Amino acid sequence: MEKIQIKVKKLRKNAKFPTYGTEFAAGADLYAALDEETKILPGETKFIPTGLAMELPDGYVGLVFARSGLSCKQGLAPANKVGVIDSDYRGELVVALHNHSNEERKVVAGDRIAQYVVMPYTYGLFEEVKDLSETQRGEGGFGSTGKR
């Protein structure tokens, strides 16, 4: 497993650095850096600050995913499903937390609100062509590979 240095700047007094739950966890927990309790109504999305800004090395991306316990037990998960934090972004990490449940939920400072996965990425060079190579699948779309 590769380990890389990530520069982190605290933007709020109550910001907590991301933490890994275990030695081999892929995602580090992100924490809410709120001044007061925030209520999220059913079907509502609220922007929850982490109080942190990060500097990722070139060639890496930060991906913000739901925490399985929070999403499955309370119905709170990132509204955009996966947040993409580019290496040239220097602003505060903010999680758009959506309430998928039928009950009001509360978030307070220090709550674990999402997980942050750092990954290398490949930059695609897109080229326009007239034809693509043929494959067995061809143009079969959603669910087409399981049918005969």
In a domain, 45, yes or no: yes
In a domain, 56, yes or no: yes
Nearest to residue 115, comparing CAs of 34, 16, 15, 20?
Answer: 20
Bridge partner residues of 116 (DSSP) = 28, 64
Q: Grade residue 94 by pLDDT with cuts at 50, 70 and 90.
A: very high
- What CA–CA distance (Å, rounded) separates 26 from 38? 28
Nearest to residue 65, comparing CAs of 127, 132, 117?
Answer: 117
Q: How many domains does the chain have?
A: 1
In a domain, 15, yes or no: no
In a domain, 48, yes or no: yes
In a domain, 65, yes or no: yes
Q: Is the pLDDT of residue 129 over 70?
A: yes
- What CA–CA distance (Å, rounded) separates 58 from 46? 30
User: What pLDDT is stored for residue 134 in this prediction?
Assistant: 92
Domain range for 73 is 27-119
In a domain, 142, yes or no: no
DSSP 24-91: T-SSEEEE---SS-EEE-TT-EEEEEEEEEEEPPTTEEEEEE--HHIIIII-EEETTSSEEE-TT--S
- Per-residue tokens: 130: 């007239």
For the chain, what percent of residues have pLDDT higher than 70?
96
- Domain of 112, CATH number, reads 2.70.40.10
In a domain, 52, yes or no: yes
User: What pLDDT is stored for residue 147 in this prediction?
Assistant: 59
According to DSSP, the β-strands at 38-40 and 45-55 are unpaired
Alpha-carbon dihedral sign for residues 106, 107, 109, 111: positive
In a domain, 135, yes or no: no
Overall pTM surpassing 0.85 (yes/no): yes
